Structure 1
């Protein structure tokens, strides 16, 4: 379900109900983002209008911003962006509820996401099915960091990975946004977790609950001979041979190159290896499952950096370095 695109750029047009937003009119790096006033969206049927209090930055943001890989442009605009306001993850306060919506009320603290953009703004009108209620005691910056990373981790492990209590799982890329939440979720579901990360992040991942840590700069994961019920690759550099050698089944979250993704999936299909690659679909049920885990103290977000909203381009530039421990948030107000 796509977000209602009720945003109009200023450019020589009067703005009746203005709000601030980061807009883009071309593909490129963070430098193509501009903070300007646009029209505040109106709430539609089955939507909620949220006053945004915080966002988080995700790899999806800079992929969409740059129009990479090129295949993404068939969805987001072939020659120039079809969606002017970037941003997926947010947390905020419900200002207005559209007709037909009964789960949320004005004043509720909510978090959610949409890959259709619109979150890097003071307000977002979004389908209610893409939001969840924030648990008591949590902050906006913390919860803005949960949706994409948390739903991806949950669906990789449970929806597609079919992880069961007592099973063993290897999580490649365990210190990043998705990975550090996946370690905690796997432990909450009763799994034995082996985490792969750099040596400098070993202590961090151990504190998250990993039963064993493999430092890839000390031991090559491509030569590791351990056996696991499930392999989850959030980094995207495991080969078909790695999956076959180490895991009974596998789930791919990220990939390093388009060629690697195609060859990996093709070989797995030809040899009938149970490998799943997916794009997470945000929904209220999964968001509120994550909220319950946080309320119970079984899941926490590590915020490496927090920026003011005016530095959203800098936040995206930072995560493009692909060395973030946990998440990066941006706060409005």
Structure 2
């Protein structure tokens, strides 16, 4: 089968499309014919081995797993003998945090995927896993938002952010979105009640108050959370120094601030699928690439200017 592989750390130039062995089905796994992927900042971090601490998981001196790729959607080709939920022919989507999704076939643990809703296409569902789970768990699992609460979402126009705006609205929250001036109309179109343009207003001097602060961009300081919010969730960070600075101050503060990495699970993916089916989440796809252009897709998202999602299709 064809797959994009990497045998050293670096930029998109280290990726190569080559023929590799088709994966062998394991217990509690399904074999999926991949039809679409989406690109995430996490793909770039894994590809480059940054931050360096991540190499303790993905390989200290060189990548442990040759095939890159996290998000996918496709069709089940084989199921393990002990599997009773998925069947051959099912349309599925999911997340492979360890990699392996940028390939014609992927052997996927059953507990990190779910079924695609009827009449929803593969590129849409390939856009959901990493970004959708991060937004959902930030708001619901860790942010514990309730109907009627006010939520500030910093970085509201990106992959995670544009899902967060819609999920917050679906749960009855009032949303203030932080984005650039060029994205004001976009975040309003997906449900934001108020918008702060960070190129016109310095968010780190802003003094309004919110029940929950969700930072998907990763540039808020600890003082920003405590000044503007009753509780906060830190999704991203700009540098390791920034992250350690926020977490160091958190250790000496009573302010309820959570920093987390999303964990894929079938139940949350099912909830996201139902929100898509009910039109409570609309995926905005900014660019679509053919699978042969996966390195170009990675290069594009590294510019950190993506509105919504970037997808790659195999057929």
Q: TM-score range by the shorter chain?
A: over 0.9
Aligned to 1:39, the other structure's residue is in SS state coil
- Equivalent of 1:177, from 159, 180, 192? 159
- Alpha-carbon distance in 1 for matches of 2:311, 2:25: 26
Tell me the alpha carbon deviations over residues 282-307 of structure 1, each in whole angstroms, 9 at most, x when there is no partner. 01100110010111110011000000
In the alignment, what sits opposite 1:309?
291
Tell me the alpha carbon deviations over residues 95-128 of structure 1, each in whole angstroms, 9 at most, x when there is no partner. 1111211111110000000110000000000110
Measured after TM superposition, the shift of residue 53 of structure 1 is 0.1
Measured after TM superposition, the shift of residue 137 of structure 1 is 1.3
Measured after TM superposition, the shift of residue 281 of structure 1 is 0.3
In the alignment, what sits opposite 1:257?
239
In the alignment, what sits opposite 1:206?
188
Q: Do the aligned residues in 2 keep the contact of 1:44 with 1:99 (CA within 8 Å)?
A: no
Measured after TM superposition, the shift of residue 33 of structure 1 is 0.4
Measured after TM superposition, the shift of residue 150 of structure 1 is 0.2
Aligned to 2:123, the other structure's residue is in SS state helix
Structure-to-structure mapping, 1:133-212, within 5 angstroms: 133-212=115-194
- Equivalent of 2:18, from 26, 30, 36? 36
In the alignment, what sits opposite 2:257?
275
- Alpha-carbon distance in 1 for matches of 2:271, 2:138: 14
Measured after TM superposition, the shift of residue 80 of structure 1 is 0.7
Measured after TM superposition, the shift of residue 240 of structure 1 is 0.8
Structure 1: segments with no counterpart, 5+ residues: 1-18
Structure 2: segments with no counterpart, 5+ residues: none
Aligned residues: 315
- Equivalent of 1:297, from 272, 275, 279? 279
Find out whether 1:48 has 2:30 as its counterpart: yes
Tell me the alpha carbon deviations over residues 4-42 of structure 1, each in whole angstroms, 9 at most, x when there is no partner. xxxxxxxxxxxxxxx000011100000000000000011
Aligned to 1:222, the other structure's residue is in SS state helix
Aligned to 2:212, the other structure's residue is in SS state strand
- Alpha-carbon distance in 2 for matches of 1:269, 1:275: 10
Provide the aligned C-alpha RMSD in A: 0.6
